[in-house]
């Protein structure tokens, strides 16, 4: 065997991508022992060792334990059923990851479409939108636990285009409320009340006319926290402006 076929542990680490610590551990459990040692007792590895290490990494990819890998390498064979099971298990894992990636890409597309025309993005509103997407399944579960299946299906049967359009409207209304608070607007002012009217219309549109039913459940339920983009000051403004709107618009409740 030529010197070109022999590697120090450092060289072997660089070629294999496996840490020295891992190589020493493999040596200690007799999974992959060095082919030779220097006079000073340092480990030396061969090309054959590199091939063995590649087999170990391949079998680890299929989630075999080091103990099982050791047995497989010693026998130079494995049961077909065991390999098949590992392949199917890995397939399921990656199918789940694939679905997760598809969902993430869909959420990113959704956010891009929602904010692409905005010059300035309020980070609190943006994070609330992001949370809405991240916890969509939790939100749906909350509705399933508190309302009928027909109502839940009605609320969540919305296509992407409609959902993006709603989120754009929400972004505009929430931004207006923040702007009104920032500029010190009076809750009873015409502009404030017009914004509250837009908010109420949007809430009814989002809940598909079920706003009163949903509002009844919210005060008594702390099982799910809905995203809140408002500061304490903004919440105070919103509460006062809403009370004035409800007082002056007796037809608010149940409005379609």
* 225-241 pLDDT tens trace: 566 889 999 999 999 99
> How far is the first Cα of the chain from the last one, in angstroms, to the nearest whole number?
86
Q: CB-based burial of residue 3 (10 Å sphere; 0-12 exposed, 13-18 middle, 19+ buried)?
A: exposed
How far lies 63's CA from each of 69, 88, 189, 223, 228, in Å? 10, 11, 65, 38, 42
Helices (H), 76-189: 80-115, 123-134, 136-146, 149-156, 160-182
pLDDT digits 0-9 by tens, 97-148: 999 899 888 888 988 988 888 888 889 899 888 888 888 888 888 888 888 8
- Would you tell me how many other CB atoms lie within 10 Å of the CB of residue 198? 15
* Structural domain boundaries in the chain: 3-78, 117-248
d(CA 256, CA 247): 18
Pick the more confident residue, 189 or 134: 189
Q: Return d(Cα 74, Cα 70) in angstroms, integer.
A: 6
Confidence of residue 220 (pLDDT cuts 50, 70, 90): low
β-bridge pairing 43-46 and 36-37:
antiparallel
Looking at domain 3-78, its CATH class is mainly alpha
Distance CA 40, CA 137 (A): 61
- Burial class of 119 by CB neighbour count within 10 A (0 to 12, 13 to 18, 19+): exposed
Q: Whole-model pTM above 0.75? A: no
Q: State how far the Cα of 63 lies from the Cα of 61, in Å rounded to an integer.
A: 5
At residue 219, does pLDDT exceed 70?
no
């Amino acid at each position: 065997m030529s010197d070109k076929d022999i590697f120090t542990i450092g060289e072997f680490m660089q070629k294999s991508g496996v840490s020295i610590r891992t190589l020493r551990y493999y040596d200690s459990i007799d999974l992959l022992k060095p082919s030779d040692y220097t006079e000073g007792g340092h480990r030396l590895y061969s090309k054959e060792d590199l091939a063995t290490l590649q087999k170990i990494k391949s079998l680890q990819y299929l989630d075999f334990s080091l103990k099982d890998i050791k047995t497989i390498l010693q026998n130079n064979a494995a049961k077909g059923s065991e390999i098949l099971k590992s392949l199917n298990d890995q397939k399921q894992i990656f199918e789940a990851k694939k679905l997760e990636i598809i969902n993430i890409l869909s959420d990113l597309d959704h956010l891009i479409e929602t904010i692409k025309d905005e010059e300035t993005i309020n980070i609190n509103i943006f994070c609330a939108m992001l949370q809405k997407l991240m916890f969509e399944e939790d939100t749906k579960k909350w509705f399933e636990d508190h309302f009928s299946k027909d109502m839940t299906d009605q609320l969540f049967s919305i296509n992407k285009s409609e959902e993006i359009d709603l989120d754009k409207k929400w972004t505009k209304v929430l931004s207006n409320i923040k702007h009104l608070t920032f500029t010190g607007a009076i809750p009873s002012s015409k502009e404030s009340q017009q914004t509250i009217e837009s908010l109420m219309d949007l809430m009814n549109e989002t809940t598909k006319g079920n706003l009163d039913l949903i509002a009844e459940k919210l005060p008594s339920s702390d099982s799910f926290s809905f995203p809140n983009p408002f500061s304490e000051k903004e919440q105070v403004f919103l509460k006062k402006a809403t009370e004035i709107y409800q007082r002056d618009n007796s037809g608010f409740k149940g409005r379609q």
